[in-house]
Amino acid sequence: MLPEDFELAARFVKDRSGLVLTRDKVYLLENRLMPVVRDLRLKSVSELLAGIASGDAALQTTVIDAMMAKDTGFFRDWKPFVHFRTVVLPNIRVSRGMKTRFRILSAGVSTGQEAHSIAMTIRDVSSSFPGWQVEVIGIDISATAIAAASKGIYSQFDVQRGLPVRTLLQYFTKQEDAWVLNDAVRGMVKCQPWNLLDDLFSLGRFDAIFCRNVLVYFDLKTKLDVLQKLARLLVDDGVLYLGLNETVTGVSSNFRAVDPALGIYAAHRADRPASLSLAAKVDL
Amino acid sequence: MKRCLVVDDSRVIRRVASKIIQDLGFDVDEAENGRKALNALTIRMPDLILVDWDMPVMDGLEFAQQLRKLPGGNKVVVVFCTTENDIPHIRQALDAGADEYIMKPFDSEIVRSKLILLGLLG
Ligand SMILES: C[S@@+](CC[C@H](N)C(=O)[O-])C[C@H]1O[C@@H](n2cnc3c(N)ncnc32)[C@H](O)[C@@H]1O
């Protein structure tokens, strides 16, 4: 690949998605774009890039989608979800007064495992929330990932990454080789294509936001911008889950650390005291 | 160091599983059927047992049932690792005392994530 081709592609990908491609990522770019080249029966990555430069919107979307790392799993890293179940959900239950409704955002939901893990966790304790209105929203820049997330159909491989087998039996049925999430859980989750670089305010407010293993691909400025926007979406005692060891320290004053090793942060508003301790230790 | 016993009649699978579990920081022993595994347990009770279903001499189901009757046999984490991949089989294994269930083929990420949720890995 010519250096100028790489520069052009890297700038386009960064402007559109936030993903930073340093020069040593030529192989990554080629690896992810070759399937697109083959699909569209083009001659080369260069020809594909020329199409992007000419402003072909459909092609641009396809390329951004192909460039995204979508690796994910159910209950990824496990402990953050234990924290959500044992600390955040009980807090929501006792602190919302007359407002019997809450909303959770999975930003960078990929193929849905994260949002569905959140929904199953809530479902597990649904007897604590009789009559409550609960919404889990999943957003991702990748339309193909969102289409998969909306279906809630997973392979045998997928359902073994992180999903306890009893949870599998409880919420899935098997249809031939596929595992199908039941309608009750699937119905709690709404997934839609959305770019984190765009306005997020119209998504509404959230009681907790999962944005795990997404910001790691961004540069500092983009990360700060997105964190600021996410902070504005959180309710006063809202919680932000980043990936393990992902940090906001030195990046954003909108959050305070709850358990940085687990990537757990609380909304922090300088003018208001912290309303509760979310720092209960997560023990299994 | 935590100990694991891998029980499978296929030497290849034993080797693959052992390597994955060793890389996760366990000491691993192997046995080729349920009977041999039970014998190994009289010497030492491991923290984790990964057991196949279909084996000659004694299968995984009978092994799990016998194990749970042994002194200390209730503390061991038992994970089935088998090609049986339908819901009735999974239920049967859980009823026999399995804690978790892996359907073959598996990879290191599947094993790792299961051990995390079983509290055997940090
Ligand atoms: C590595 S996956 C992580 C999935 C999941 N959150 C988890 O932790 O398992 C990152 C996801 O973020 C999405 N993503 C990357 N940049 C994005 C952006 N600018 N807007 C929305 N989603 C984005 C990707 O498409 C991908 O699905």
Q: What is Dmax (Cα atoms) for chain B?
A: 36
pLDDT of residue A228: 94
* pLDDT interval class at A1 (50, 70, 90): confident
Residues on chain B touching A164 (C-beta within 8 angstroms): 100, 117
* Residue A230 located in a structural domain: yes
Local confidence band at B104 (pLDDT 50, 70, 90 cut-offs): very high
Across A74-78, A276-280, B83-87, least confident range: A276-280
For residue A272, pLDDT beyond 90: no
| pLDDT at residue A274, rounded to an integer | 53
ipTM above 0.90, yes or no: yes
Q: pLDDT tens-digit profile of A204-250?
A: 999 999 999 999 999 999 999 999 999 999 999 999 999 997 988 76
Q: Are both A42 and A124 inside the same structural domain?
A: no
Task: Say whether both A115 and A86 belong to one domain.
Answer: yes
Burial tier of A281 (Cβ tally within 10 Å: 0-12, 13-18, 19+): exposed
Instruction: Test A160 with B94 for CB contact under 8 angstroms.
Output: no
How much is the average pLDDT of A260-270?
A: 87
**Per-residue pLDDT, A268:** 82
Q: What is the pLDDT at residue A224?
A: 93
DSSP code of B17? H
Q: Which has the closest alpha carbon to A211: A281, A282, A110?
A: A110
| Averaged pLDDT score across all residues of chain B | 96
Burial (CB count <10 Å: 0-12, 13-18, 19+), residue A133:
exposed
pLDDT greater than 70 at residue A273: no
3-state secondary structure chain A: CCHHHHHHHHHHHHHHHCCCCCHHHHHHHHHHHHHHHHHCCCCCHHHHHHHHHCCCHHHHHHHHHHHCCCCCCCCCCCHHHHHHHHHHHHHHHHHCCCCCEEEEEEECCCCCHHHHHHHHHHHHCHHHCCCCEEEEEEEECCHHHHHHHHHCEECCCHHHCCCCHHHHHHHEEEECCEEEECHHHHCCEEEEECCCCCCCHHHCCEEEEECCCCHHHCCHHHHHHHHHHHHHHEEEEEEEECCCCCCCCCCCCCEEEEEHHHCEEEECCCCCCCCCCCCCCCCC
* CATH number, domain containing residue A35: 1.10.155
Report the domain count for chain A.
2
d(CA A252, CA A102): 25
Select from A28, A199, A172, A67 the least CA-distant residue to A112: A172
Q: A62 with A125, same domain?
A: no
Q: Which of B81, B106, B113 would best serve as a mutation to test chain A binding (most A beta carbons within 10 A)?
A: B113
Residues A140 and A14 in one domain: no
The 10s digit of each residue's pLDDT in B42-72 is 888 999 999 999 999 999 999 999 999 999 9
The residue whose C-alpha atom lies closest to atom 7 belonging to ligand 1 is A72
CA dihedral B40, A160, A211, A28 (to 10 degrees): 100
Q: Which two three-digit tokens encode residue A241? A: 């889950």
CB < 8 Å to B109, chain A? 73, 161
Same domain membership, residue A61 and residue A106: no
Residue A162 has pLDDT above 60, yes or no: yes
**A101 & A167 share domain:** yes
Rounded Cα distance between A101 and A93, Å, is 9
CB atoms inside a 10 Å sphere around CB A73: 21
The pLDDT of residue A277: 55
As a whole number of angstroms, the distance between CA A201 and CA A229 comes to: 8
**Whether A125 and A229 share a structural domain:** yes
Residue finishing a domain among A67, A88, A120: A67
- Domain B3-117 has what CATH class? alpha beta
pTM exceeds 0.90: yes
Is pLDDT at B24 greater than 80 in this prediction?
Answer: yes
Calculate what percentage of chain A has a pLDDT beyond 90: 85
The closest alpha carbon to B14, from B29, B34, B36, belongs to B29
- Given a cut of 60, is residue A36 above it in pLDDT? yes
* Positive or negative: CA dihedral B64, B67, B68, B69: positive
In a domain, A128, yes or no: yes
3-state SS class at B68: helix
Q: Please, what is the average pLDDT of chain A?
A: 92
A44 and A163 belong to one structural domain: no
For residue range A102-152, what is the model confidence (pLDDT) as tens digits? 999 999 999 999 999 999 999 999 999 999 999 999 999 999 999 999 999
The residues spanned by each domain of chain B are 3-117
Which residues are within 8 A (CB) of A82 and not within 5 positions of it... i.e. 6 or more apart? Answer: A282, A284
CB pair distance less than 8 Å for A160 and B87: no
Cα B100 from chain centroid? 9
Distance, in angstroms, between A76 CA and closest chain B CA? Answer: 8
Q: Give a yes or no: residue A281 inside a domain.
A: no
Residue A11 and residue A96 in one domain: no
List, chain by chain if needed, residues with CB within 6 Å of any ligand 1 atom.
Answer: A 17-18, 68-72, 76, 108, 110, 114, 140-142, 145, 195-197, 212-214, 243
Q: Any idea which of A3-7, A61-65, A181-185, B32-36 has the lowest mean pLDDT? A: A3-7
Give the end of a domain, one of A26, A42, A67. Answer: A67
Which of A85-89, A266-270, B57-61 shows the lowest mean pLDDT across its residues?
Answer: A266-270
Residue with tokens 């890293």: A77
Domain end, chosen from A67, A92, A112, is at A67
Q: What is the pLDDT of residues A60-79, one digit of tens each?
A: 999 999 999 999 999 999 99
Is the domain of A140 the same as that of A252?
yes
Query: Dmax over Cα atoms in chain A, in whole Å?
Result: 62
- Residues A33, A122: one domain? no
Domain ranges, residue A59: 3-67
Of residues A277 and A50, more confidence is placed in: A50
Same domain, A45 and A116: no
Within a domain: residue A284?
no
